[in-house]
Amino acid sequence: MVSIMIKKLINFVKEYDSKDDREPRSKKLFGLAALYNTPNEIITAAADVAGKGYEKFDVYTPYPMHGMDDAMGMKSSKVGYVSFALGLTGMCLALLMIWWMSSVNYQNIIGGKPFFSLPPAIPITFEGTVLLTGIATVFGMLILFNQLPKINSPLNDTDFMKRVSSDKFGVVIKADDEKFSDSEVRKLFLSGGAFEIQEIYYRETNLGIKTPIFDGKFISIIFATAILTAIITYITLNIVLYDVVPFDWMWKQAKINSQSKSDFFPNKAGMREPVNGTVARGFLPYEYKGMPDSSVKLLSNPLAVSRKVLERGQERFNIYCSPCHGYFGEGDGRMKDQFPKPPSLHNQKVLNWSDGNIYHVITNGQNVMPSYAEQVSVDDRWAIIHYIRTLQRSKNASDEDLTKAK
């Protein structure tokens, strides 16, 4: 049973294989083709054809022939320009990639070396140059310069082509050349020693409107392949490779996140809390915690005023204090009507306060204002205070300040 079916299948394939598949040709002439026996004959014929002023002609040889370009009056090939342009692009792209990735986008300290330097970038830049040059050369040559693929060229699948891809040499003058005339061309060929002249006609598909891309069969084949690929991919990824970590851009990783549950630890939390008494950098505990104002008179601002400090203070103030106190400390923050309105920082009380008092308010809080000791580091608090002083002074500037500012 099975063997009969297999035999039938084999017979079917054999029959299909041996069918003549020459496409029907139209009545429209593509050109006249002549065949020659020797390299010397063909090269002279080529020079003759070019010399007679024909432009749409070509020579067909089984291998590249020296001097043929000159004989045909051709300029030398321009493939090199494309290679050069893309090679240069490859070089720049590789260099830019290395520079951007390692020194801009994600600075990774490796052996204390500079984030970007030329010598270690050279190998990859070189490879990038070569890669793009090569790809540009090949695809530029094939697609841009030779207009390939062109499987249904009128010349293919003809006796002429079978001869010139083996041991004969041929010339074709196309029918759409301005000077083309059947009898003239034949005369020219014969005078050059052609042993055979063939007429080459367009294929029907060369002329017709029917493009194979919209062919029903073609579309259904594409469709079937797409569905099949999808099914196979689904099965391999989800069933066969089920246990394997998929290639998911590192989204899922074999690690416990700080917010997730873990059965490994007694308290079932994935997060590991610091040991009791751990002090984070920049967050030294406050010695006057919970004490009244009066006890902190001794604290003084350890930071010297500088542009950097003031800018830092401004940044922190805008982040942490401005929601309530407003950008200029006037108590008109964006939390208006949602939180008790704080007093202006330009009132006499705060103007007279020492820096230590403001520090105390930030660190300890005051009535409804909560403590900011958790969010703002010690140094940042002092920077904010410098900035508040700047705001105060700018609100109450004296004439002297104005002349100085000029």
Partner 1 sequence: MSFDSTYTRELPLVEAKKSFKEIDEVIALPTETKPTKGWWIAFSISSTALLIGAFCLSLTFYYGIGMWGNNNPVGWAFDIINFVFWIGIGHAGTLISAILFLFRQKWRTGIARFAEAMTIFAVMTAGIFPIIHTGRPWLAGYLLPLPNQNGVWVNFSSPLLWDVFAVSTYFTISFLFWGIGLIPDLATLRDRTTSKIKKTIYSVLSLGWTNSNRNWSNYERAYLILAGISTPLVLSVHTIVSFDFAVSVLPGWHTTIFPPYFVAGAIFSGFGMVSTVLILVRKVFNMEHIITIGHLEKMNKILLATGMMVGYAYGMEFFIAWYSGNTFEQFVFINRAFGPYAWAYWTMVSCNVIFPQLFWFKKIRRSIPITMVLVILVNVGMWFERFVIIVTSLHRDFLPSSWAMYYPTLVDLGLLLGSFGFFFTFLLLFLKTLTLVSISEIKAVVEGAQPTIHPHPGGNGQHHD
Which of partner 1, ligand HEC, none is residue 44 near (CB under 5 to 8 Å by kind)?
partner 1
Residue with smaller CB distance to partner 1, 149 or 274 = 149
Q: Which does 324 bind (CB under 5 to 8 A by kind): partner 1, ligand HEC, none?
A: ligand HEC
Which partner in ligand HEC, partner 1, none is near 72 (CB below 5 to 8 A by kind)? partner 1
The partner in contact with residue 347, picked from partner 1, ligand HEC, none with C-beta cut-offs of 5 to 8 angstroms by kind, is ligand HEC
Among ligand HEC, partner 1, none, the one that 325 touches (CB under a kind-dependent 5 to 8 A) is: ligand HEC
379 binds, among ligand HEC, partner 1, none (CB under 5 to 8 A by kind): none
Our CB check for partner 1 shows the closer of 158 and 314 to be: 158
**Shortest CB 342 distance to ligand HEC, Å:** 3
Residues 153-182 contacting ligand HEC, CB under 6 A = none
Distance between CA atoms of 350 and 373, rounded to whole angstroms? 20
Give the number of other CB atoms < 10 A from CB of residue 261.
11
Beta bridge partners of 57: 173
For helices 378-395 and 307-316, give the axis angle rounded to 10 degrees. Answer: 100
107 vs 396 by CB, closer to partner 1: 107
Contact 358, 313 (CB under 8 A): no
Out of 98, 361, 373, 383, the only residue in the binding site for ligand HEC (CB under 6 A) is 361
Contact predicate 68/43, CB 8 Å? yes
Q: Looking at 42, 94, 95, 324, which residue binds ligand HEC (CB under 6 A)? A: 324
Question: Taking CB under 6 A as the criterion, which residues in 247-276 touch ligand HEC?
Answer: none
Which residue matches tokens 């370009």? 69
**C-alpha–C-alpha distance, residues 221 and 218, integer Å:** 5
* Cβ at position 181, least distance to partner 1 in Å: 19
Sequence-separated (6 or more) residues with CB below 8 Å from residue 63: none
DSSP secondary structure letters along 255-286: S--TTSB-SSSTT-BSPPPPPTT---TT-PPP
Binding partner of residue 26 among partner 1, ligand HEC, none, CB cut-off 5 to 8 Å per kind = none
> In the set 67, 120, 246, 340, which binds ligand HEC (CB under 6 A)?
340
Q: Which does 400 bind (CB under 5 to 8 A by kind): partner 1, ligand HEC, none?
A: none
Interior/surface letters 132-150, b for 16+ CB within 10 angstroms, e for the rest:
bbeebbeebeeeeeeeeee
Residue 169 · residue 36 · CB < 8 Å: yes
Give the Cβ contact number of residue 29 at 10 Å. Answer: 16
How many H helices and E strands in the chain? 15, 4
CB of 193 to partner 1, least distance (A): 13
Q: In sequence order, which residues have a C-beta less than 8 Å from that of residue 25 and are 6 or more positions away?
A: 201, 202, 203, 204
Q: Is 318 in the site for ligand HEC (CB under 6 A)?
A: no
Would you say 37 or 375 has its CB closer to partner 1?
A: 37
Residue among 202 and 359 whose Cβ is closer to ligand HEC = 359
Residues 362-391 that bind ligand HEC (CB under 6 A): 362, 366-369, 372, 376, 384
Which one of residues 52, 272, 349, 393 is an interface residue with ligand HEC (CB under 6 A)? 349
Among residues 11, 283, 343, 397, the one that binds ligand HEC under rule CB under 6 A: 343
Using an 8 Å Cβ cutoff, are 359 and 299 in contact?
A: yes
Query: How deeply is 91 buried, as exposed, middle or buried, from its count of CB atoms within 10 A (0-12, 13-18, 19+)?
Result: middle
Interface with ligand HEC by CB under 6 A: which residues? Answer: 320-321, 323-325, 335, 339-340, 342-343, 345, 347, 349-350, 358, 361-362, 366-369, 372, 376, 384
